[in-house]
Structure 1
Amino acid sequence: MQIHLTDIENAATRIAAFACDFRPTRLTDADLGLCGRSLADTYAVAVAGRGEHAPLAALAYLSRAGLLHNHTGQGASLWGRSERAAPEIAAWWNGIAGHVLDYDDVTVPMRGHPSVVLWPALLALAEDRGLMGERLSSAFTVGMEVIGKLSRAMALSHYAAGWHSTATIGALGAAVACCHLLDLNARQIVHAIGIAVAQAAGTRENVGSEGKSFQAGHANAVAVRAASLAEAGFEAGAGALDGPNGFLALYAGDDAPHDWLAELDEAPLELRRSGLDVKQYPMCYATHRALDAVLALRAAHGVRLDDAERVDITTSHGALVPLVHPNPRTGLEGKFSMPYAMAAALKDGAIRLTSFVDASVQRPDIQAFFPRVHATESAGPATPRWAEVTITLRDGRQLHQRVQTLRGSAQQPLDAAELAAKLDDCMAWTGVAARGPELLALARQCHARPARALITDLQAIVASAVKETA
């Protein structure tokens, strides 16, 4: 069933028409390259996260519940592991592993992480169904478009009200992406949106805890479940998104503009317009501009932690909202702490995965420096984002650095070697030998490979690299 624009009555039918009409042939080589880079980054970060406490606890839960199996060809893979599960379960677990380190990519309008709520769901379904890869990249692009447009309509006030937009907005975009992947008709997509709305949840109170990664995993499970139920004929309210008591009214209130759908499917697509910011540092993105600044000052002037009397950060309005741990004691808390970011950068000269073991955060000189870090927000507009750092030295001198464009952002992307180096760091975190360039090259061919072959080869890279380091 195809819905023409003249027949559209609400937001769900407009989105459904877009998702039905979008064709993989619309993607340029540059678009396909962006999708492949995003897949490589998301998969590598999940492999790095697979041994963290949250995914291991989730694995124990799945094992006790009898939800795991090792039968090749059935279900979908748990990334970096031998176990398999039904696609909904695999997407959930891979989403947890992909988000627990907070090292996965972001997109600015969302105030959240799009790839980690798209790729686990899409790959789990595609692997389970034995689909060809040509719709993987187009499904990712469709999901990005829905996430981007919803985010422009509501993310700022939604996030400020306490919602975790990665989990909420992400679940809806991922559900539509899964529908496109499965080539569902417009009526089915409308129902899938309603089913996804019925499950969308996530609070910023879980920031700095394992609950945040659960919420990312849950968004993937929501997407797979919503698309699969709609495919089976399960129905939902057509106005669940923008009706009087729908998602926008409940989750965004009166702040959401009414013309947010006007640019859906208009050039440039959100994949190009908003783009993806690949993280250089495995911690909350709200610290990254300040980190770029302080590391640049350290490199230029040779300043170290012992030289600094205090650090002052001024940044754009709303930028500090996720940084909820001024005095962290654990590695996970440290990921959401500006004082720890500044102290660790000055002491170590880098922020890596090893920065977020508990012992690194608990170093006495690091803990003692926390009161010397002072961060404030500007009263100006929330965007464009920027940060200015001033280091006051013990001898009275002051060093200044302002950063607006981040390395790794859509405006200043990492080159292939820099991205491969991040992939290597992720794999090394769990004892896997360097395979970054190989992993990146494989992921960039995701549109041209059968999904099962793609996953088999990705998993083989990890397995073979583990053997080399044994």
Structure 2
Amino acid sequence: MTEMEVLAGPKPIFDDLSKWLHGLDADALPVEVMSTAKLLVLDLLGVLAAAHRLEAGRIARDHAVRHWAAGPDAPKARLAFDGRVASLPGAAFAMATQLDNLDAHDGWQPSKGHAGAALLPALLALAEDAKALSGREALVLMIAGYETAYRAAAALHGTVPDYHTSGAWNALGCVVMGARLRGVSDDVFRHALGIAEYHAPRSQMMREIANPTMLHDGTGFGAPVGLYALLIAEDGFTGAPAATIEFDDAAGYWADLGKSWLTCQQYVKPYPICRWAHAPIDAALGLKVAHEIDAKDIAAVEVHTFKYSADLSMSVPDTAPKAQYSLAWPVACAFACGVVGVDEVMPEAFEDKELIRLTHLTTAHVDPALEADYPARRQASVRVTLTDGRRFDSGVVEASGGPDPQPTEAEIVAKFRRFAGSVLSVAQVEELERAVMSLDSQDADFKALVKLVAEMKIAP
């Protein structure tokens, strides 16, 4: 990214962005874009609910209520599946941190990261302060956030050498949603984008992957920075132009805005694990089913994949973050359990002797051909050797869940039911599903959904 570029006024790309944002119309958007946005909201809510079990989520919720409280005359929002109140940025922080810490949300492969994990928490917070918000308008806001955040991600990754966390750019998507919903002027909008980009966490992703903690993908701070930027810009605070939008070397990344819908080019993770491990998981699950492999008969497992995937942990985890940034552990779970779900990344699983044994038997190797295809594709092959000497090879497998082919509605709904059902009753899951799946109807009220989620409390 250009270090310094003096701008006399807004670049045409900012004017184009603002005109596009305020001209979005639910009735004019392609049907598949609206439908995809609705399914992404459903998926994110399921992950957010399941993530309530994580220690990171509990800490973030308690912290937000205590330290990010709203002042007497400030807008406030309730925390999803909790009901307690914090400021808008505080609520976004708590919900985004919780959601980000269960690595099962949507993403766009060129960004090497995720937007929805910040966008939905920010929207839930913003909606509480809105006088009204229809379901269709809420979907338009999510679409606007996706389209902006991912282009900012492409501009950042395409112009700087470091691999930054998603919080570095999904904060801008939160600004865009808030700017349209709150009806701010172009001047406030432009300053808010600049403030958000300047203060968003441009943290180094690989440092967290090498040492997994509750920081995860930076989204816990990306979402509140986006909302803070908008609120403080409304108060008159100024910020330098957003380089990922207005600087010359970013211009090309915005040329297809409104023409190519990145919202529909995302994947939806079937497993709560770093995306880089998904192809090995799929390969292992395929081998287990195809050859009726009993995990107790496994003598060795070899994973051949791209470098980032091979760099994931090969050790037995002792925390949920370490389990989610592991390669050997989820592959072991695939062979032993036949599933890699929420339970498999919870501390209760880490003492399982068979999972420990299989983790130690797994090795990772970089395949130059698969490395050459990254990040456009996430691929791997798995070779398993049994104690009787038989060997099976999965061949090259591409991670499931999209973007090509896109996951079906049935697959996303089934995942939602699994994840939400890990903490909610069947009746609650069905009620939440009905509310989300009707968001694109003409009479849908998003604020009613926000109320439902806030009052649908999950026991600690």
TM-score, length of structure 2 as denominator length: 0.86
- The residue aligned with 1:75 is 76
Change (3 A) 1:377 1:181: farther
- The residue aligned with 1:252 is none
- Tell me how far 1:151 sits from its aligned partner: 2.9
- Structure 1 residue corresponding to 2:422, chosen from 426, 429, 432: 429
Give ranges in structure 2 of 5+ residues lacking alignment. Answer: 1-8
Paired with 2:405 and 2:98, the residues of 1 have a C-alpha distance of 27
Change (3 A) 1:61 1:411: same
- Tell me how far 1:313 sits from its aligned partner: 1.8
CA deviation string 1:342-388 (max 9, x = no partner):
11111111111111222312323322333422222333231222211
- The residue aligned with 1:211 is 215
- Structure 2 residue corresponding to 1:454, chosen from 449, 453, 457: 449
- The residue aligned with 2:45 is 43
- Return the letter of the residue paired with 2:78: S
- Tell me how far 1:80 sits from its aligned partner: 0.5
Q: Secondary structure at the match of 1:293?
A: helix
- Structure 1 residue corresponding to 2:61, chosen from 43, 50, 59: 59
- Tell me how far 1:14 sits from its aligned partner: 4.3
- The residue aligned with 2:296 is 306
Change (3 A) 1:68 1:46: farther
CA deviation string 1:420-458 (max 9, x = no partner):
332232233335335445423311333543332221234
More off after superposition, 348-357 vs 410-419: 410-419
- Tell me how far 1:459 sits from its aligned partner: 4.1
Q: Secondary structure at the match of 1:350?
A: coil
* 1:280 matched to 2:270: yes
- The residue aligned with 1:270 is 262
- Tell me how far 1:220 sits from its aligned partner: 1.1
Paired with 1:30 and 1:258, the residues of 2 have a C-alpha distance of 27
Q: Secondary structure at the match of 2:378?
A: coil
- The residue aligned with 1:4 is none
8 Å contact kept, 1:326–1:370? yes
8 Å contact kept, 2:64–2:93? no
Change (3 A) 1:419 1:262: closer
Paired with 1:144 and 1:282, the residues of 2 have a C-alpha distance of 21
Q: Secondary structure at the match of 2:253?
A: coil
How many residues get paired?
A: 439
Paired with 1:8 and 1:239, the residues of 2 have a C-alpha distance of 10
- The residue aligned with 2:351 is 362
- Tell me how far 1:241 sits from its aligned partner: 4.1
Q: Which has the higher contact order (CA 8 A, sep 6+)?
A: 2
CA deviation string 1:378-405 (max 9, x = no partner):
3323122221111122223221224554
- Tell me how far 1:155 sits from its aligned partner: 3.0
- The residue aligned with 1:174 is 174
* 1:237 matched to 2:227: no
Change (3 A) 1:426 1:88: same
Alignment of 1:304-343 (within 5 A): 304-316=294-306, 318-320=308-310, 323-324=312-313, 326-343=315-332
More off after superposition, 256-265 vs 182-191: 256-265
Paired with 2:430 and 2:260, the residues of 1 have a C-alpha distance of 29
- Structure 2 residue corresponding to 1:223, chosen from 215, 226, 229: 226
8 Å contact kept, 1:387–1:404? yes
- Tell me how far 1:13 sits from its aligned partner: 4.4
- The residue aligned with 2:6 is none
- Tell me how far 1:294 sits from its aligned partner: 0.7
- The residue aligned with 1:108 is 109
Change (3 A) 1:438 1:197: same
Paired with 1:239 and 1:452, the residues of 2 have a C-alpha distance of 31
Q: Secondary structure at the match of 2:299?
A: strand
Paired with 2:62 and 2:449, the residues of 1 have a C-alpha distance of 27
- The residue aligned with 1:296 is 286
- The residue aligned with 2:97 is 96
* 1:411 matched to 2:400: no
Paired with 1:411 and 1:66, the residues of 2 have a C-alpha distance of 41
Paired with 2:19 and 2:330, the residues of 1 have a C-alpha distance of 45
Q: Secondary structure at the match of 1:313?
A: strand
8 Å contact kept, 1:178–1:224? yes
More off after superposition, 289-298 vs 351-360: 351-360
8 Å contact kept, 1:35–1:444? no
Paired with 1:47 and 1:235, the residues of 2 have a C-alpha distance of 37
- Tell me how far 1:260 sits from its aligned partner: 1.9
Paired with 2:37 and 2:439, the residues of 1 have a C-alpha distance of 8
* 1:32 matched to 2:34: yes
- Return the letter of the residue paired with 1:389: V
Paired with 2:262 and 2:251, the residues of 1 have a C-alpha distance of 19
- Return the letter of the residue paired with 1:311: V
- The residue aligned with 1:190 is 190
- Tell me how far 1:224 sits from its aligned partner: 1.3
* 1:147 matched to 2:149: yes
Give ranges in structure 1 of 5+ residues lacking alignment. Answer: 1-6, 249-255
TM-score, length of structure 1 as denominator length: 0.84
More off after superposition, 286-295 vs 198-207: 198-207
What percent identity do the matched residue pairs reach?
21
8 Å contact kept, 1:8–1:14? no
